[in-house]
Amino acid sequence: MEIQRVAYIVDFKGKEVPKKLSKMDVNLAYVSKKGNYAVVYFDKNKGEKMLTSHLKNVKGFIRIYPSLTFNEEANIS
């Protein structure tokens, strides 16, 4: 069984969003406190809507978008 992973960038203000991401079922790869963004990886079948629905009520959440540097062909089987 092959698991498809995707990378997303989460823009935020403050400290609440990284704390929420660390408690969620996603791989929090990197958090930039100066740039106010985080890089997360999660299963493609979960989708962006799952992440957005959990974060939309968190204070400081701005937006989420796919990472431009993520290469889908590099997924590990």
Instruction: Give the DSSP per-residue string, 4-49.
Output: PEEEEEEEESSSHHHHHHHHSSSEEEEEETTTTEEEEEEETTTHHH
> What type of residue sits at position 36?
N
> What type of residue sits at position 1?
M
* 6 has pLDDT over 80: yes
- Angle at CA of residue 33, ends 69 and 3, nearest 5°: 40
Domains of the chain, earliest start first: 5-74 (3.30.70.80)
- Mean pLDDT computed over every residue of the chain: 86
For residue 12, name the pLDDT band (cuts at 50, 70, 90). Answer: very high
pLDDT in tens, 14-46: 999 999 999 988 899 999 999 999 999 988 888
